[in-house]
Amino acid sequence: MKRSPSQAARPRYAVVAQTLIDDILSGRYAVGTALPTEHALCKQFDISRHTAREAIRRLQALGLVTRRAGVGTIVHTDHIAQRYMQVGDTVADLYQYAQDMAINVLDVSDIEADDDTATLLGCPEGQTWARLQGLRGMDPDALPMALTDVYIAQDYRGVLGDIEGSGLPIWSLIEARYGVIPSEVRQQITAVTLGHDDAVKLRATPGESALRITRHYLSDPTGTYEVAINLYPAGRFSYSNTLRIDPTAPLP
């Protein structure tokens, strides 16, 4: 298959996929109806079945179509834009959280990333990060709600002294001092079992269940620059949020 040098080296399946996506979004293939069969696409675009399947696989990944043997490829929605807007996880909520759950610093240290830590932080092994451990709670005398481990890239360790008592999220302290804004925050929530040391610090029972929320703060070129791990014993906290319909989005 000769391709003229001026022609962009775009895979054929990508061209076909984009064409189909455009057709779905423009209403040429209505929601609930079937897309052309693989065989039809082969003839229409003069491609092999393999290429047709690769193209449709992209539509599938976008949730635009569903496929079933014996039935066909059915258009399921004609808009890729998300219909649900996430609320309850906005910047304002994060500020509220930080103010309510002031941090009580237990320990500050420098660590050299070993194997596990490098994986967690997404950084080369041996790199040095600052680490802060503390308890979060509304009232210093009451049971703490969470055990917090925060890892901060070496460049921004200057915020360490500002954390306690500020009532501000750490990323906002970094922003204020260094002008670095997270372009993205990746959040992961898992269930874990409390180990002995963590349980003692939290005045909880070893073996008890706990919620672990890990947040990676990424800035655009440099990647991860802060990682916060919060450990909440079961019953002291539950994460909740609400998805709402985006009123501006078209209905299927």
Partner DNA sequence: CGCTATTTGTGCGTATGTATC
Partner DNA sequence: GGATACATACGCACAAATAGC
Q: Are 20 and 59 in contact (CB under 8 A)?
A: yes
**What's the CA gap between 114 and 128, in Å, rounded?**
10
**Residues 158 to 217 in contact with DNA, rule: CB under 7 A:** 165
**What's the CA gap between 192 and 27, in Å, rounded?**
47
Rg (CA), the chain: 25
Q: Which residue shows structure tokens 């047709």?
A: 52
N- to C-terminal Cα separation, the chain: 40
Closer of 158 and 252 to a copy of itself (Cβ): 252
Return the amino acid letter for 86: Q
Q: Cβ of residue 234: shortest distance to a copy of itself, in angstroms?
A: 4
Q: Cβ of residue 227: shortest distance to DNA, in angstroms?
A: 26
Binding span for a copy of itself by CB under 8 A among 19-27, 35-43, 141-149, 231-239: 231-239
**Residues 163 to 192 in contact with a copy of itself, rule: CB under 8 A:** 167-168, 172, 175, 181-192
18: contact with a copy of itself by CB under 8 A: no
**What's the CA gap between 219 and 51, in Å, rounded?**
37
Q: Which of 27, 28, 33, 39 binds DNA (CB under 7 A)?
A: 39
227: contact with a copy of itself by CB under 8 A: no
Stretch (H or E) spanning 97: helix 91-100
142: contact with DNA by CB under 7 A: no
Instruction: Please give the residue ranges that form the binding site for DNA (CB under 7 A).
Output: 1, 3, 9, 11-14, 34-35, 37-39, 42, 46-51, 53-54, 67-73, 165
